[in-house]
Structure 1
């Protein structure tokens, strides 16, 4: 099973087959220290027996996300090194709506642990420098949406969210957001379970389980300005959701790798409105069209090393650059086993 992101920073490495397990630079993959995260190079074992170097401030207690959420950003004269969430702040517990809203709205960095079932009562804002984590049996969010609007440095992990609309909305130029190891269950409606829109940037969605919805992940909206919407989507299970895994519009760069698509009635990934989408190492099983481009306003899409079972071939267009960050691919043939074993809440 996938180790709890707070309790274990170094889960057993996932070994990859040589045929498809290559990094962006084409090197052999060696596996990850924690599912969905890369280890800090300063924490390698020292044969002399000396203690490892202290973990840098830019690293979360459970590692560093793979993908765009870890990439630095300079904005308005300020440097943002990558997502760390509530690292360095206190750890608090929320057991009801009022308590949770108060913690998430506070100005200081916090790790907020959810205890029991909490009704979000509509839209609940998540402020900057926050880690929100579900802990223990019965930790669940219902009745609304977690809204990351203009905030930065946010980690949402190990959450079970049941919703009749959108579970997580990242928008308003928000940046450095990591949604990891969570389960999103809809009511069969067509609103996306997770949306990344309105100039949001540096976002990673990893090791999540999506079910019971027409739309899983929407990246970009009707009126997006160019130069944002850099999103990584990896090791997620899109379980019977029909479309948008993700659907990208006006996106600068979307990287979709090592996801498991199963029984997706409409399509897997879609690129529209000049988006740049790279799709690699994914397993499509019973997905009507694995990868599609919009007919009237298409985007660019490049695919490689995907495996298709009872799924139509992709529609390709244009060129898409490789991402600037390091990553490792699991053997595509093993993706269903790897992802179903570890995606979603513990």
Structure 2
């Protein structure tokens, strides 16, 4: 098996980013470190031949995409937006699916660094410290799509998740619903989890409904867990449910039907994302439209500006969301509500 850049870094006792800088003749590397890396390259037999031409021009015209779950109904549309803009600017895409696992996120960032990608678009809700550290080691431009790091150090494109959740729950309240449950994303997730829970809580409190933590059950964006979460909420006799994704809303509706109840006659359901599931499921699902394609397209355009050193008007872009009213809240005809 041929040696990799990681083998060189291990042998020289430096980071992969430092090896990359030596290969690119960066002036920020000390002579001592450069010599140690060159000796490690010789000892391991590492041959960066596949990148020889691109190293000369310092460009590979390749963008790395890190996706948390490609089987989700949401992320493929984000990727499509990225790909369309990437093609306009003659960039190729290197797609990495992490299954929401931290070790895979770090591993793929290292691989993308080894591949000398020009930039990275990171998708997902949680931007862990280990991911930020690995980004910093490689020093390539990074854009966050659909999320934000806690210190807002990286450019980002997303919606206002708190306000979107608020609008969803406010709509349920306007229909006379009093006991509204929520199937949330992971509680440790600051975006799809906590921000949407905060919007749910604010809507209740502003309309005189006491917040009950028992009515918020973690679904973790997984259909099986969402199904079980709905069964638990039924024990509290909820008359409406806000689910933090359309997939979880569909699972909740199945649980309601399996319990010999009906949607929307007995329980109203609102989802989140406006993926194709919300339109083909029966009943069709009232949902918050998160502009997935636009999130991808704007993220890629922002990255091209960073790479070309163009002026950037806004480093943290907030795109508009929209409430799409369908059958799961009692309306057969689709209606848009801003």
Name the TM-score, length of structure 2 as normaliser: 0.26
Q: Which has the higher contact order (CA 8 A, sep 6+)?
A: 2
Higher Cα radius of gyration = 2
Larger fraction in strand: 1
Structure richer in helix, relative to its length = 2
* TM norm structure 1: 0.25
